[in-house]
Amino acid sequence: MTDLTQTGLATLARKVELRWLAYLVLVVCLFWGVAELADEVLEGATRDLDRDILLALRVPGDLSDPIGPPWVEEMGRDLTALGGTVVLTLATLLVSGYFLMRHKVSSMLFLLAAVGGGIALSSIAKVLFDRPRPDLVPHGSIVHTASFPSGHSMMAAVAYLSLGVLLARVQPLRRLKLFILASAVLLTLLVGVSRVYLGVHWPTDVFAGWLAGAGWAAVCFGAAQVLARRGHVEPENCEPPRDP
């Protein structure tokens, strides 16, 4: 092996190590952010901020009326449904069917495990913190569970980011990868904002849901990279499409 080849391999190894180091730092920061935010919430340090943001989204003098015309409130309910159990389950099953038709059973099982694990994590967190829902304003959507973290926000992050990562990995063009990932992030943000707008969550509930969901999706992304190297899930496609 020539010195040039050895130098190239050493440079590549350093780049891979730095990429994985950055990935680990990101995951730690996301879950550390959730822990710090939860601590602030339990101590009541975020009470005024939560209250001010929630009231800012209501018409002064009429807390039952969200700001904006009626169609904006209806749009908020439509957007919040994108983080609901039925929509996310349907989206997950449809993408799972896509993988199944391509005979990518391992990718299908990985997706189901990623989304299922996120649901379990969200449910456990709600039981542990048991934070009451906002009582300052009427709720614009029916709710049954505890408030922290926001289940819709967290599951939107888990499902859409996981789906986005798995679909983006197999796309040949960078612009397609960016479009899919940007769409997943946009859907996640819109769902979270709609929960606060409808008065069913404190802003910190939503922020915690985003952090926790992004953290879980990042863990799943790392697992997908490892499994792809071992041939268990579809490898990332970085090559431009060839002309037929």
Model confidence at 243: pLDDT above 70? no
pLDDT of residue 50 exceeding 50: yes
Residues 6+ apart with CB under 8 A from 160: 91, 183, 184, 185, 187, 188
Which pLDDT value is given to residue 239? 52
Residue 9 has pLDDT above 50, yes or no: no
CA distances from 7 to 4, 19, 21, 112 (A): 5, 18, 21, 41
Residue 239, C-beta contacts closer than 8 angstroms, at least 6 positions apart? 172
- Tell me what pLDDT residue 182 has: 92
Higher-scoring residue by pLDDT: 75, 22: 75
Amino acid at residue number 46 = T
At residue 228, the pLDDT reads 72
User: Could you give the percent of the chain with pLDDT greater than 70?
Assistant: 86
The pLDDT of residue 190: 93
- For 58, phi and psi rounded to 5 degrees? -120, 150
What tokens were used for 184?
């997943």
Confidence at residue 232, expressed as pLDDT on a 0 to 100 scale: 59
pLDDT value for 4 = 43
- pLDDT of 165 reads 80
Q: What is the pLDDT of residue 244?
A: 43
With a pLDDT cut of 90, the percent of the chain lying above it is 7
pLDDT computed for residue 189 by the predictor: 93
Show me where the domains of the chain are located.
Answer: 17-229
CA dihedral 23, 28, 31, 36 (to 10 degrees): -140
Alpha carbons 160 and 53: distance in angstroms, whole number: 26
| For residue 12, pLDDT beyond 50 | no
